[in-house]
Amino acid sequence: MRGMMSAVSKLYGFGVRYRNRQYDRGSKPIEEVGVPVVSIGNITLGGTGKTPTAAWLARWFRRHDVRVTLISRGYGAERGELNDEARELDDLLPDVPHLQNPDRVAAAKVAVEELAAQVLLLDDAFQHRRIARSLDIVLLDATEPFGYGYLFPRGMLREPLEGLARADVLALTRADAVSAERRQEIRNQARQYNTSAIWLEMNHRPDHLRNADGESLPLEQLQGKRVAAFCGIGNPAGFRHTISSCGANLIELKPFPDHHIYNAKDIETLTQWVSQLRVDYLLCTHKDLVKVGVNQLGETPLAAIVIEADVTHGLPELEERLTKLIAEIPPDEY
């Protein structure tokens, strides 16, 4: 099986390298959209903390009175609907427009021409090279930064690690989940492919609990409590770490596939499951809560742990680059 997957990985890698060479040589056009563009992406499949990072950046620009719009492909969205990440970001950032379109160039033009956006944030766009960007931010999850060292499907890499050379910022997310020695090892390995990018380290800390009505609850309510949890995200291990950091006693975690859409049968199954565990709380991620949309399952209260990103290393360098982006906005627009 490993041999078969390795063969497919080689074919996949050939296709990725060929596509990147076309953009690098100009065979495929890269389009300017007239405003600064910040891309947030990763080099691996699965969750790396893009949503908290996008929220952090959007709030930074809003604090500086910049009109910012989020652009994403809308993976997993049903026709005419926002996907789970967009619904989560809409809940967190009600004053920031979010456009979803598989044709992200078209969405960018709408944002600039109709919404008068001054800065665009491209979500999950490191491999989307049609739009020229002013800043390419690549997130590396500290718990598994390099996709087990293999391209998909043998490993979790979306493209070869030499692709990191395109990054302007390398951000180690969930940095507090590993030791200082491990963080340095990851940095040294990343520097083999990119010596000039800004190096960030970020903690994705639990900030508060939130129910489906939008009510905020203190995390202290979880201290010493028996809890169960479920999630449909790319990195369930990261969510387990988050729950443990809140001081809760996690009895069981039920993972679902990434971007899972919860139907009536799922809700019934979860209700029966949690009732047998006799826990004080049922927890999920914010991305799951916006899809489930209820405050309890059976008699058990349901709440999401809302995650906020904190930059713990490299903040001055990042803010210097972001300030330079603002200076690129035409004077009559800023």
Nearest alpha carbon to residue 208 among 299, 329, 303, 310: 303
In the numeric block, the tokens 């972001």 are attached to: 322
Token digits for 119?
Answer: 């800065």
Copy the structure tokens of residue 139. Answer: 């997130």
Q: By C-alpha distance, which of 29, 37, 44 is closest to 71?
A: 37
Enumerate the known binding-site residues for ATP: 44-51
* CA distances from residue 181 to 184, 197, 256, 309 in whole angstroms, order as listed: 5, 20, 32, 22
Measure the CA–CA gap between 145 and 161, rounded to whole angstroms.
11
Which one, of 41, 225, 11, lies nearest residue 136 by Cα? 41
Nearest to 97 by CA among 56, 61, 68, 55: 68
CB 35 within 8 A of CB 66: no
CA nearest neighbour of 302 among 322, 288, 323:
288
Which residues carry a binding-site annotation? 44-51
- Residue 324 has a CB neighbour count (10 Å cut-off) of 12
Per DSSP, the three-state class of 299 is coil
